[in-house]
């Protein structure tokens, strides 16, 4: 995103819309107060362009080249990633497990979302997390954008030029057996000490008959020092599940 200082009147209408506080006041050579965009902070999300409704059309987009264009791919919710065929930073995830069948009995589906509006994430931090997890044998979801850009999925390493990319957030997706979970949770806790951002950590499992969360899963998560916030997605019978595991 850019602002044409010749058109900008410094009304600041666009400033509150930027999720990463990249907009700031500056003065032109002739002394006019205008708004500019810090290109290091800008995630190319397009929010200011679409929502500020600049009367003077001072905000404009330009076609970005690699690796700058990755910022928009991971930050603009209207851009659809070709690998997942859904807009946004991840895949259909475990929220649609009755369709994808990604998470099986005795396994946990994990989606580590790094960064948030107001903070963002630099991909050097994403690389720290993916490489740490890869060392523990994690297999990342193929359709995920972060996985797509890895140099090697077995090492989790991202290309050097992408480590300078900044996006509003980035999602790391994988699943594992319950017995693998303690090591993975400990790895996440230790790696978090090296990060300059925040992250959330959704973990999904298939519920037991009667809607009960598997006790083994709860014990593992709580023993690792994480606090569970139980939420559920239930198929109410309005549509038939496309996937059924043996025995269901």
CB-count exposure of residue 30 (10 Å: 0-12, 13-18, 19+): exposed
| Residue 67: pLDDT over 80 | yes
> Hey, what domains does the chain have and what are their CATH numbers?
2-60 (3.30.70.20), 79-223 (3.30.70)
pLDDT tops 90 at residue 202: no
Is pTM beyond 0.75? Reply is yes
The candidate with the shortest Cα–Cα distance to 163, out of 72, 67, 69, is 67
Over range 184-198, report the average pLDDT: 96
The β-bridge partners of 60 are 2
pLDDT for res 175 = 92
pLDDT score recorded for residue 195: 96
Q: What digits encode the pLDDT tens for the residues 22-62?
A: 999 999 999 999 999 999 999 999 999 999 999 999 999 99
Assigned token pair, 14: 């666009």
pLDDT, tens digit, for every residue of 133-187?
Answer: 999 999 999 888 899 999 999 999 999 999 989 999 999 999 999 999 999 999 9
**β-bridge partners, 37:** 23
C-alpha R_g of the chain: 21
């Amino acid at each position: 995103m850019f602002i044409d200082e010749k058109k900008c009147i410094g009304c600041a209408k666009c400033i509150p819309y930027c999720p990463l506080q990249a907009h700031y006041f500056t003065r032109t050579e002739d002394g006019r107060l205008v708004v500019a965009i810090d290109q290091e902070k800008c995630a190319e999300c397009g929010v200011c362009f679409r929502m500020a409704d600049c009367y003077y059309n001072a905000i404009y987009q330009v076609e970005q080249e690699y690796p700058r264009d990755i910022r928009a791919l991971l930050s603009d919710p209207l851009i659809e990633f070709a690998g997942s065929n859904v807009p946004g930073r991840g895949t259909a995830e475990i929220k649609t497990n009755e369709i994808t069948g990604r998470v099986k009995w005795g396994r946990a589906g994990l989606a580590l979302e790094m960064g948030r509006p107001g903070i963002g994430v630099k991909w050097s931090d994403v690389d720290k997390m993916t490489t740490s997890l890869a060392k523990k044998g994690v297999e990342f979801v193929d359709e995920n954008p972060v996985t797509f850009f890895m140099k090697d999925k077995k090492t989790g390493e991202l290309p050097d030029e992408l480590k300078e990319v900044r996006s509003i957030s980035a999602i790391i997706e994988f699943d594992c057996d319950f017995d693998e979970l303690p090591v993975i949770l400990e790895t996440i806790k230790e790696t978090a000490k090296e990060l300059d951002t925040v992250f959330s950590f959704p973990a999904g499992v298939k519920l037991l008959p009667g809607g009960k969360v598997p006790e083994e899963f709860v014990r593992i998560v709580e023993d690792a020092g994480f606090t569970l916030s139980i939420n559920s997605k239930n198929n109410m019978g309005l549509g038939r599940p496309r996937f059924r595991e043996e025995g269901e």
